[in-house]
């Protein structure tokens, strides 16, 4: 019969999912949940409060907003999974976030994403290489927010494709394109996640960043973010996405010859970053 000693094993025994990995995931989850309840001696009122938090999360979730993703982000689970998936020698991964789209237009290397819009004119350039430093011809999927700190999904005045593109590096792995500096922004704070973050005395702000997914044949793709060393939110990112290797310096270029060679106004900001991809593991038979 079920009692305090037997209940965890009894529950686990009721879930045979006919798949070893699924069983491992579900059985371990049950054991950790039960272990948590035992360790903190969970009360009825506290469990009801937890369920109420999740209910409010579902009520805050819609087509353009997923409060459960935010829970994962602010509890550091998204970043933990990113770090576990980061390959040795490769650029560390960081959060994908909710603003990636799959149908960005492919643009030529050197493209101008900036156009006439407001913001600090910025040249973003670098190389994509293997973990051992060999240049790779790669595809970079890029997106960022605008000078008003909004992504196109949050701002009907922006074109759907504003400040996002796919871009192929040259054979030597180099890439360059013109854009504006992104801005820090806050995660949505009008739902239960915002309440939790505020109660903890944390900020909902994220440091400014470029988003990239970098892909090359025979290599593991890297989904990551590039941050800037002047940013006031680097140490307190609401979603724990900052890694030391992802922080770059923004150079201010005041040399007009350099500006005109780069097709930039003078002065402009220069961000340089090299990506490293690890080889795909050979297929196992």
**CB 120, min distance to Fe ion, A:** 17
- Whether omega for the bond prior to residue 267 falls within 30 degrees of 0, making it cis, is yes
Q: Is 97 in the site for Fe ion (CB under 5 A)?
A: yes
Binding span for Fe ion by CB under 5 A among 14-22, 89-97, 189-197, 237-245: 89-97
Q: Give the nearer residue to Fe ion in terms of CB position, either 74 or 278.
A: 74
- Indicate the residue among 192 and 207 with the shorter CB distance to Fe ion: 207
Write down the least CB distance from residue 74 to Fe ion, Å: 14
Under the criterion CB under 5 A, does residue 182 sit at the interface with Fe ion? Answer: no
- Total length of the chain: 285
Q: How far is the CB of 118 from Fe ion (least distance, A)?
A: 18
- Both tokens of residue 102? 């799959």
Bridge partner residues of 174 (DSSP): 127
Between helices 77-85 and 67-74, what is the axis angle to 10°?
A: 70
**Per-residue string for binding with Fe ion, 141-180, x by CB under 5 A?**
----------------------------------------
- Bridging pattern class, strands 210-215 and 205-206: unpaired
Give the ranges where 41-105 is alpha helix by DSSP (H): 44-59, 67-74, 77-85
Binding mask 116-145 for Fe ion (x = CB under 5 A): ------------------------------
Q: Which two tokens stand for residue 242?
A: 């900052």
Phi, psi at 141, each rounded to 5°:
-95, 120
Compute the least distance from the CB of residue 117 to Fe ion, in Å.
17
Question: Measured from the CB atom, is 34 or 161 closer to Fe ion?
Answer: 161
Q: Which residue has the tokens 């819609």?
A: 62
* Residue among 97 and 192 whose Cβ is closer to Fe ion: 97
Contact status: 184 vs Fe ion (CB under 5 A)? no
Find where tokens 């400040």 sit: 163
Nearer of residues 135 and 188 to Fe ion, judged by Cβ: 188
Work out how close the CB of 270 gets to Fe ion at its nearest, in angstroms, rounded to a whole number: 21
Query: In the chain, how many H helices and how many E strands?
Result: 7, 13
Cα gap 153→115, rounded to integer Å: 19
In the complex with Fe ion, the residue whose CB is nearer, 73 or 130, is: 73
3-state secondary structure at position 82: helix
Interface residues with Fe ion (CB under 5 A)? 97
């Amino acid at each position: 019969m079920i009692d305090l000693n037997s209940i965890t094993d009894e529950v686990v025994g009721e879930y045979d999912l006919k798949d070893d990995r699924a069983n491992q995931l579900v059985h371990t989850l049950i054991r950790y949940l039960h272990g948590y309840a035992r360790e903190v001696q969970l009360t009825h009122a506290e469990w009801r409060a937890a369920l109420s938090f999740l209910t409010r999360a579902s009520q805050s979730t819609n087509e353009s907003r997923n409060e459960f993703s935010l829970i994962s982000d602010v509890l550091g689970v998204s970043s933990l999974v990113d770090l576990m998936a980061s390959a040795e020698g490769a650029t560390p991964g960081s959060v994908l976030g909710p603003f990636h789209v799959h149908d960005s237009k492919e643009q030529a290397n050197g493209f101008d994403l900036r156009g006439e819009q407001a913001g600090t004119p910025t040249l973003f350039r670098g190389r994509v290489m293997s973990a051992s430093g060999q240049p790779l011809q790669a595809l970079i999927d890029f997106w960022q927010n605008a000078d008003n700190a909004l992504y196109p999904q949050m701002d009907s005045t922006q074109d759907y494709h504003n400040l996002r593109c796919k871009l192929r590096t040259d054979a030597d792995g180099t890439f360059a394109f013109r854009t504006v500096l992104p801005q820090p922004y806050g995660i949505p704070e009008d739902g239960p996640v915002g309440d939790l973050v505020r109660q903890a005395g944390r900020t909902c702000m994220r440091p400014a960043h470029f988003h990239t997914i970098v892909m090359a044949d025979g290599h593991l793709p890297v989904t990551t973010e590039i941050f800037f060393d002047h940013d006031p939110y680097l140490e307190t990112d609401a979603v724990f996405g900052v890694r030391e290797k992802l922080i770059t310096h923004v150079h201010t270029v005041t040399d007009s010859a350099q500006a005109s060679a780069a097709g930039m106004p003078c002065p402009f900001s220069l961000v340089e970053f090299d990506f490293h991809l690890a080889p795909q593991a050979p297929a196992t038979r």
